[in-house]
Structure 1
Amino acid sequence: MFVSRIDRLSFIRIYSSTYCCRFYSQCDNDFSATYNVDKVQEKWSNIWKKDKYSSPKTSTNHHFSILLPPPNVTGILHLGHSLTVAIQDSLARWYRMKGQSVAWIPGMDHAGIATQVMVEKYLQKIKGVSRHDLGREEFLLQVNNWKDTKKDVITRQLQSFGASLDWSREYFTMSEKHSRAVTEAFVRLAERELIYREKSIVNWSPSLRSAISDIEVEFLSVTGKTELEVPNYQEKVSFGQITEFSYRLKDSDHLLTVATTRPETMLGDVAVAVHPDDERYCHLIGSHVWHPFRETFIPIIADSFVDRSFGTGAVKITPAHDYTDFGVAKKHNLEIIDVIDEHGNMTSAAKPFSGLPRFVARERVLTELANRNVLGLIKDYSMTIPKCSRSGDIIEYLLKDQWFVNCKEISNRAIEAVKNGTLKIDPPIHEQTWYKWLENIRDWCISRQLWWGHRIPAYLCSNDKESTWIVARSENEALSKAREKLGGSIKIKQDEDVLDTWFSSALLPFSVMGWPDRTDDYQRFYPLSMLETGHDILFFWVARMVMLGTELTGELPFKEVLLHGILCDKRGKKMSKSLGNVITPENITRGVTLQDLNDQAKQNYETGVFSQKELQRTEDMNAEMFPNGIPECGNDALRLTLCSLNIKSHNVNFDVSECVTNKLFCNKIWQASKFVLTGIEKNPDFVKGCPNMIDKWILSRLAWMVATANEAFSERNIHVVTRVLKQFVYHEFCDWYLEATKPGLADVNSKIAFGHLDTLIKCLDVTLRTMAPIAPYLADELYAQLSHRIPSLPSFDSLMEAPYPAEMEFQVFRDQNVEEKFEKIKKIVSSTRSLISSNRIRPRTSEAHVIVRSQEDADLYRSNSKIITAMSKILGLKVSLETDQNNIDNCIFDTVGTDCSIYLVLKDAKKMVELGDRIENKISNLEKRLKKLIEKTSAPGFITGAPIDVQKSLAEKKDALRKEIEKLSQMKVKNT
């Protein structure tokens, strides 16, 4: 029970106390009329920070540890980050209030490619210089300055949003501490032969002159010829076409036709492949064709990978520029020729086209093929085009010497962990994606040709005769290993490349705890309790954390993965710069005009964050979505809105108007609190009273809310928590209970008033503690205000140190029988209100007679007649059994289910006549509409000729009209 819980916690003031609640009216002077968002947020942000409520407790062995996915230091936080923070903070606060020691760890990601690209754009836009103009050292200094500026902004954003992060454990993915962990991880993996250096195909961005990860590749689908802008090209480039051209067979005048979407790569063709069972070509297997530009014969090979339905069924093999072709070349021992370099230009191997930009070379190749009479059809073709998400460039698949992680063995452990249930993925729909990715995993290219990032701890060591790569923790260690291996005088140079950002991020669950050392934090908080992030990085981050975590620590880095959907706008479009629909959280919490929104977009353009197109799209979207700007909503309203979304959906649609609605919800709770304080002011000497039926009903609903909220938090369905809060506060506590208590509270110093007040205080206390994890500013402020004025309320410096309401404490209040009885009262009230409103009767001008079949119902309505009268806004209520019913004149009639009837008696005879005429007219109009529908649906050929959905729709309309006529007929005025 709740009382025993309070006793165990040694609270001085408890509900069971008979302590008189003294209310000083002068205290109401500083209780504002409405919820003052700015004042409250500033006050509580300072309190939480000063008193370090976010630090883990040392008094318990029950821990909840979680990592905030590190925001990139490319810019400020957007709503996607806010969604993550709202989810994690709600869970952290819930566990904290449940008495657990919570370690919620913040940090920032250096975001190698993203940050370098952003700073390069900024420098080019503001100073007109490139990183090559500055040099590596000066450029990195500029990036560090950028990082410091953005880090400060992000920190302020997180603190303003109310995120209860433990800032004493803050990390940065390029700090000295984390760099040590990255180096150690690389060395250990290399020692276990899980990291190797090899020439292989990678995703290459010519604009960045770097390999990029799969997550930084966007695929653009086109269904035919499409002109696209490509960086460093003045003219648009055509895509979405397939080109046929022919090779001449050796010792023959016959031609073999192939098809390709990338004609320029034919300069690196080393073979033509056909399916071994293709009757069209099986006689050609083993023969050769003449390559007109390389001026050599290339073989025709057989391989079952060939799709006989693609193009002509004969495919060109260009192993240096295609993943599949590279594998085929290794399988058949074919030559590998690079014809496109890292700048996107043709290499010397392309002979007459050497030095040309790749897409210029494409047109020249087509021209030459036409001149040689071997160019065939060029047709529209549906295809996907790989683009670099950072630069907008078209990806090239290049053969490069890179460092790779051998993923096969460590991925098997990640697969098995999900299969055997030791790793839970929620929602489980993503398990199949997990298996698909990991079962078909390629080795992971971790080299990046950047300046900003972790330098790869590998050294090219050489003597006069040979050279070798040495992986080591330092240059001295590398020298020592090289001398043992090579002997003699050693020259040494560290690899210029840096590591893929995802490599360093994959170490975070254990590196932030002090790994490779077994620190106190590591032993106390590792593995993490859970990992929460977006499902779009399930493979790129989550899977890699699991793979490296199990390999380097011997344990899963976490046993639960909670994945949220992709945040979209209200139309279901993913929020992105390119669409112009990104929303900054502060514009919602503080409010913003349309002009200010556009000024922000222009500033982003002027500093290189937005392109001209992105600026225009953003301004267009601002005008469409926010023609009147965005009103100030506050952090609580934004948090409530984000937590109201079903995060486990694939896409999560966000509508700013919901924030306005939730601000009204916050104010509703504020006004309800003022109502309670007013009731106490009128009953200054109240003591604990006995609850009547209405009190028992709301306490039962309170118990339901607490049980449902706890279950929802446990199952990570936070939207259910917000839903039951609104259901209770709006529809039960405010709409029904507060209204129902007004007659009782008017009877000053009565037992009924005391029972109401005691119940009101319980409800406010429990409601505020229930909503504290989601709307912490409002909950803390109201609780402090109320406990200051109501001595029977426990007092806390912050609700973060209060107990979260537990289901066990409130089971005693749950009463299904009382809830069923009150539902009957609600139906009487709702039906009476409907009679009054639908017939335009002025409130409190009529009397209601309720006729029931059972004595139990009669007793129920009589004992609650004051409540029914007050809430129905009638003059009075009379309750009778059917057996005792007398004639009731001058009334309109309605039924409530099958066991109850309501007669609304009007005193004004003239009004009765008007009402009767109105009802008769309405019935007449409805009957005419019904007659027309019957005639239409009875017409010859309707049943055989009309579509089924039309027949069904009209049948439903007829049923609805009949029911409405029947209802109005029952309401017919009964005159004397």
Structure 2
Amino acid sequence: MQKEYPTRIDPAEFESSIYKEWEERKYFHADETSDKPPYSIVIPPPNVTGSLHMGHALNNTLQDIMIRFHKLNGYETMWMPGMDHAGIATQNVVERLLASEGKSRHELGREEFIERVWEWKEESGGKIINQLKRLGCSCDWDRERFTMDEGLSKAVRKVFVTLYKEGLIYRSKNYLVNWCPRCHTALSDLEVEHEEIDGAFYHLLYPVKGTDFKFEIATTRPETMLGDTAVAVHPDDDRYKHLIGKTVILPLMNREIPVIADEYVDMELGTGCLKVTPAHDPNDFLLGAKHNLDSISVMDDDGKINAEGKGFEGMDRFDARKKIIELLDSVGLFVKKVDHKHQVGHCYRCKTIIEPKLSDQWFIKIKPMADEAVKAVETGQIKILPETWHKTYYNWMNEIRDWCISRQIWWGHRIPAWYCDDCGEIVVEMEDPTECTKCGSKNLRQETDVLDTWFSSGLWPFSTQGWPEETETLKKFYPTSCLITGFDILFFWVARMMMFGLKFRDGVEPFKEVYLHALIRDKDGHKMSKSKGNVIDPLTMIDKYGADAFRFTLAAFAAQGRDIKLDEARIDGYRNFVNKIWNASRFILSGYNGQKLESFNNLEIEDKWILQNLKEAEQKISKATRNYDFNEAAGSIYQFFWHKFCDWYIELIKPRIYDDERKEKALAVASYVLEKSLILLHPFMPFLTEYIYRLVTEKESIMLAEWETFEYDFANDRAEMDDAIELISLIRNIRGEYNIAPSKELNAFVKTEKTDVKDTFAKNKALILNIARLEKLELTDNNVDKSASNISNNFEVFVPLEGLVDFEAEIQKLKKELKKLEKDHNIFGGKLKNEKYLANAKPEIIEKDKAKFTEIDEKLKKVNETIERLSRLC
């Protein structure tokens, strides 16, 4: 007695148990002693504070596809997981926690605060790891790393000490950096997010000493005038030539500052003169150095005016702005305010507007390493895909500036530098020094700053594998095979890994290929954000539709270089695919008694047809996956399984299933194709394929299966069967067009000049009669009167309709439908021509109306065509 299977399956009933078994059986663990060729990926380490969002879901789904695909293809795969300590983000989280207890990190002190962070990490951090498991990620969890691990910390120190001793790391005093007044730390240029805000140009007057002339200067940041140390004009500007060398009385400060000339000033822009504030603007900083100007910092770490801003001390910078304008206006030195939208830098973590600030910081002279990383891409040593990113990469790398690597926080890798308070020497060694290497003094104190988080994550491909020790893991899996990540961290992370990897692994690249995937947007193409309320939660989608349907949706839309517009309805659609796979499997299992396909001999034509389609699907999927064309790979397996295997092959063999003599071979082929299809599907749908594979094969796991390349060749049989299937499809189309019941047997006549097509239809007549529900199938040399017809490239088919269709009744019915469609066509067409409506309606409503109008327009054309066709047959 055959086992009965439910018509639908619930992924929640088997996903977690299957994943638990995979972990327990160590299927994800890489064997560094294996003779198999290596294939390795390092995970872009999510922040320890993070939770799974759509970007993570896409990124990790694509990595898992590559790992599972290569494992099935005989590689020793290693997917290195881990998390980033996320210095600023994590410190912010713990500081907020302390604030809720009425405490601050300064009250605790550095050591106790760091202990609290570690406690938080163990208790609450890293939730994303379990969320990745829900997604089905086959990471080697035994190797999970954290950027603050002891081994990774050793690698960080090795790199810092080496670069310092080579003169590539240096400490600069009073260097202008991006400063976050909220996080109290410097930020690299990459950590500053520029957003457009509503601002203004404030036009101020600066009196020239000893004259009646006043410079009119436009600025977006009036508060910085408190630190002005010059006014700059172009040396060829006839309006101001005579004033070069004179002095200006700085309003409110009553400080004399010089008028300088520099070709940097644009005579055509604004009023053609600039206020110069070296301590608060990057361009002014360069001008100040060039002209040996004073740098006066007028703000403290909180973004408040300090003692240098006499009269405004203690005021927030934006409050000071208002007060300054009021005072200037009261003395006649304020001209006007001109509203202006402009890009302003914000902290990438807390979104506070950053402030350029003079500070003592540590830097890397990054250009020498950047040049090597550029060469690696130019020579093809490292491939960046899609290649459209090459130009952006080269432009940024060739213009790269020194990297500020110090951060004024406590959580992170503390910079391993000690200052001698007696002679000023800086001591940097692999071991903590006990005395000054220059004067022998024991009066040493360690730098309080920590390293930029991206410093440690830049070592990720080799530090996670045990470097600076030459481990067996490194020997086996370095360089890694590919890196899959979002394009938005190409310079934050990818480029830095290239630079560090080439530098510290003797010119060996950290990965052979980099695939940069696009962003996931909402269904209308808008960026997802909590404020817009258009965020899709991956875990909610997994709960609702299962991980497999969710993963397959992401892969199906992951076209290279194109953002993904994600609609929940798409996920629901691919859940239908999951159900289709299950129902096809259930059909085969219901009659299955362990039949095996022992050879490819004595097969019927539909068997050879599906096997050839399986072979071609495998070729397409393999090629597309290796080339990171995930949408092409997903589309190929979808088209094969749903349309070829389910819609056609299973239907074609149903008569054989109920024929005792033909049943065994049909089920043997069907189960063989199902088993191989599950393997092709596995990288995209790991849980469902594991579940069904065990039922079909009674083997331990699909993860131990082998991807097969098929050697047989049934191309000719496939071509024959394609003609037969096309004929059946054209006859079915006629049934649909004329509302002829599927149970009604028809007569069909085929007209063709091709002998091979005639032979095909003659040879497969019984199959065609059965599947197309025909009473008669004949060849003809002439057109057939009062018949519906359809044409293919190889033949024309005629189906006589006399006695089957009441043409007049059908025409009258269609004319009624036509009237309704014409009415709706006029309504929607009129709305879309109404300028007032178009100006006031919401864009999404207009788009819906356009779509509806297009749908009605297409229906109108089809109804008119059908009426015309029926009229000819009357």
TM-score higher than 0.5? yes
Q: Counterpart amino acid of 1:712? A: A
Secondary structure, aligned partner of 2:746:
strand
Name the counterpart of 1:779.
689
> Counterpart in 2 of 1:6?
none
Matches within 5 A, 1:276-675: 276-463=235-422, 466-476=423-433, 479-480=434-435, 482=436, 484-487=437-440, 489-555=441-507, 556-590=509-543, 632-675=544-587
* Residues 969/267 of structure 1: CA separation in 2 closer, same or farther (3 Å cut): closer
Which letter does structure 1 place at the counterpart of 2:95? E
Secondary structure, aligned partner of 1:93:
helix
What aligned pairs does 1:644-723 form with structure 2 within 5 A after superposition?
A: 644-680=556-592, 690-723=602-635
Distance in 2 (CA, whole Å) between partners of 1:576 and 1:651 is 15
1:675-733 deviations in Å (ceiling 9; x for gaps): 22234469999997622222222222111100000101110111211100110011111
Contact 2:178 2:186 survives alignment (8 Å): yes
Note the C-alpha offset of 1:745: 2.7
Verify the 8 A CA contact 1:846 1:904 in the aligned structure 2: no
Does the Cα contact within 8 Å between 1:568 and 1:654 map onto a contact in 2?
Answer: yes
Amino acid in structure 2 at the alignment position of 1:301: I
CA shift, 1:493, in A, is: 1.0
Q: Does 1:748 align with 2:748?
A: no
Do 1:687 and 1:754's aligned partners in 2 also have CA atoms closer than 8 Å? no
SS of the equivalent of 1:659 reads helix
Is the alpha carbon distance of 1:502 and 1:580 closer, same or farther for their aligned partners in structure 2, counting shifts above 3 Å?
A: farther
Query: Which residue type is aligned with residue 798 of structure 1?
Result: S
Distance 1:62 1:959 in 2: 55
- Equivalent residue number for residue 761 of structure 1: 671
Q: SS at 2:412's partner residue?
A: coil
Q: CA separation in 1, counterparts of 2:649 and 2:867?
A: 31
Q: CA deviation at 1:180?
A: 1.1
Q: CA deviation at 1:928?
A: 15
Residue 778 of structure 2 is matched in structure 1 by: 879
Asked if structure 1 preserves the Cα contact closer than 8 Å seen for 2:136 and 2:686, the reply is yes
Offset, 1:134: 3.7
Deviation of residue 549 (structure 1)?
1.8
Query: Within 2, Cα distance between the matches of 1:728 and 1:384?
Result: 50
Matched, 1:77 2:52: yes
- Residue-by-residue CA offset, 1:918-964 (whole Å, 9 max, x unaligned): 2477589989999xx9xxxxxxxxxxxxxxxxxxxx9xx99998997
Query: In the alignment, is the contact (CA less than 8 A) between 1:780 and 1:799 conserved in 2?
Result: yes
- Aligned counterpart for 1:197 among listed residues 168, 171, 183: 171
Other structure's SS at 2:248 match: strand
Structure 2 equivalent of residue 800 of structure 1: 703
Q: Which letter does structure 2 place at the counterpart of 1:915?
A: F
Instruction: Report the residue type matching 2:624 in the other structure.
Output: A
Q: Residue 274 of structure 1 corresponds to which residue in structure 2?
A: 233
Contact 1:676 1:761 in 2 (8 A): yes
> Any idea what SS the aligned residue of 1:65 has?
strand
Residues in 2 aligned to 1:147 and 1:281: alpha-carbon distance in whole angstroms: 61
1:895 equivalent to 2:787? Answer no
Contact 1:105 1:166 in 2 (8 A): yes
Q: % of aligned pairs identical?
A: 37
Per-residue displacement from partner, 1:282-333 (whole Å, max 9, x unpaired)? 3333332222334332122222222333321101110101111111111111
Secondary structure at the residue paired with 2:158? helix
Q: Deviations over 1:40-93 (max 9, x none)?
A: 213321221121111224332511111011110113222221211111111011
Structure 1 residues 216 and 582, CA gap change in structure 2 (3 angstroms) = farther
Mapped to 2, the partners of 1:657 and 1:961 lie a distance apart of 27
Match of 1:14 in 2: none
Query: Does the aligned pair in 1 maintain the 2:231–2:257 contact within 8 Å?
Result: yes
Look up the SS of the partner of 1:183 in the other structure.
Answer: helix
Q: Deviations over 1:136-171 (max 9, x none)?
A: 333323322221234453232222322111122111
In structure 1, what residue type is equivalent to 2:703? M
- Bigger drift between 497-506 and 73-82 goes to 73-82
Query: Counterpart in 2 of 1:849?
Result: 748
Shift of 1:822: 3.0
Across the aligned residues of Structure 1 and Structure 2, the Cα RMSD in angstroms comes to 3.0
Letter in 2 for 1:173: T
Count of matched residue positions in the alignment of Structure 1 and Structure 2: 840
Q: Equivalent residue of 2:448, what SS? A: coil
Per mean C-alpha deviation after superposition, the further-off stretch among 33-42 and 90-99 is 33-42
Which among 823, 827, 845 is matched to residue 722 of structure 2? 823
Give structure 2 stretches of 5+ with no counterpart.
826-852
Matched residue SS, 1:485 = coil
Matched, 1:726 2:683: no
* Contact 1:827–1:896 under 8 Å retained in 2: no
Distance 1:916 1:181 in 2: 85
Secondary structure, counterpart of 2:545 in structure 1? coil
1:188 aligned partner: 162
Query: Shift in Å at residue 841 of structure 1?
Result: 2.1
| d(CA) in 2 for partners of 1:357, 1:739 | 76
Q: Structure 1 unaligned segments of length 5 or more: list them.
A: 1-24, 227-239, 591-631, 789-794, 934-953
Answer yes or no: is the 8 Å Cα contact 2:597–2:665 preserved in 1.
no
C-alpha deviation, 1:500, in angstroms? 0.6
Match of 1:867 in 2: 767
SS of the residue 1:71 aligns to: coil
Letter in 2 for 1:501: T
SS in structure 1 at match of 2:369: helix
Whether the aligned pair in 1 keeps the contact of 2:419 and 2:427 (CA below 8 Å) is yes
User: How far has the Cα of 1:106 moved from its partner?
Assistant: 0.5
Q: Distance in 2 between matches of 1:308 and 1:848?
A: 86
> Is the partner of 1:377 in helix, strand or coil?
strand
AA in 1 matched with 2:79: W
Letter in 2 for 1:880: L
1:100 deviates by 1.1
Amino acid at match of 2:467: W
CA change 1:960–1:778 in 2 (3 A) is closer
Q: Which amino acid aligns with 2:409?
A: L
Is residue 86 of structure 1 aligned with residue 40 of structure 2?
Answer: no
Bigger mean CA offset, 399-408 vs 150-159: 150-159
Aligned partners of 1:916, 1:452: CA distance in 2, in Å? 83
Q: Deviations over 1:98-123 (max 9, x none)?
A: 11111110101110001111222344
Structure 1 range deviating more: 253-262 or 580-589: 580-589
Deviation larger for 874-883 or 395-404: 874-883
Distance 1:853 1:540, change over 3 A: closer
Q: Secondary structure at the match of 1:383?
A: strand
User: Residues 270-293 of structure 1, C-alpha deviation per residue, up to 9 Å, x if partnerless?
Assistant: 111122333322333333222233
- Alignment pair present for 1:50 and 2:24: yes
* Alpha-carbon distance in structure 1 between the residues aligned to 2:776 and 2:475: 69
The 8 Å contact of residues 595 and 668 in structure 2, kept in 1 or not, is answered as: no
Deviates more, 1:213-222 or 1:797-806: 213-222
Contact 2:363 2:403 in 1 (8 A): yes
